Structure 1
Amino acid sequence: FADAPLGKGFVVRAVDNSNLTSREMVDRVVALARTNHIPAQYGVTGGGNDGATFLRYGSIDVPIAWPLRYSHSPGEVIDTRDLDALARIVA
């Protein structure tokens, strides 16, 4: 995630290679996180997500993830606080 710093919370992926999430949905997820004191950020990212396949059937796709560096390499780097934030918003 080029614009998602490590250690600042999970990422709501507003735009990626397979999806454009509405501003309303991004804001709703970020507001939910803030209400529950869960660190969150939003970003424009590379890559894609499997949920985009279901958009043609009327589904809403709001991809969420943890920020990382060196994706798909043996040396991927994450901040476990971001992973914890992601787990908390899903729960």
Structure 2
Amino acid sequence: MEKFTFENVESAQGATVKVVGQNGDVELEISSVERTKLNGDEWNAFCVRLKGKADEPLSQGTYKLEHEAFGEAELFLSPNSETEYEIHIAQQR
């Protein structure tokens, strides 16, 4: 998780990440990476939005994400629709 930083994930914006699920692997595109209101002196806080395919939906839960920019990270992923997902990160500095 230490390599899943705003800078590393932002550098991968537009790229696809592999999401390891119980029913097999799925690829999602990192569509945006934005700082959140909590970000500041005490917290490194950001939101990652991802896009997937309607025929490969994921339910809310913890998944292993893999990409060369950040390696492997187990993160909680929430669906916004059948093709859009969010990950919220708040790391104490």
* TM-score of the pair, normalised by structure 2: 0.31
Q: Whose helix proportion is higher, 1 or 2?
A: 1
* TM-score of the pair, normalised by structure 1: 0.31
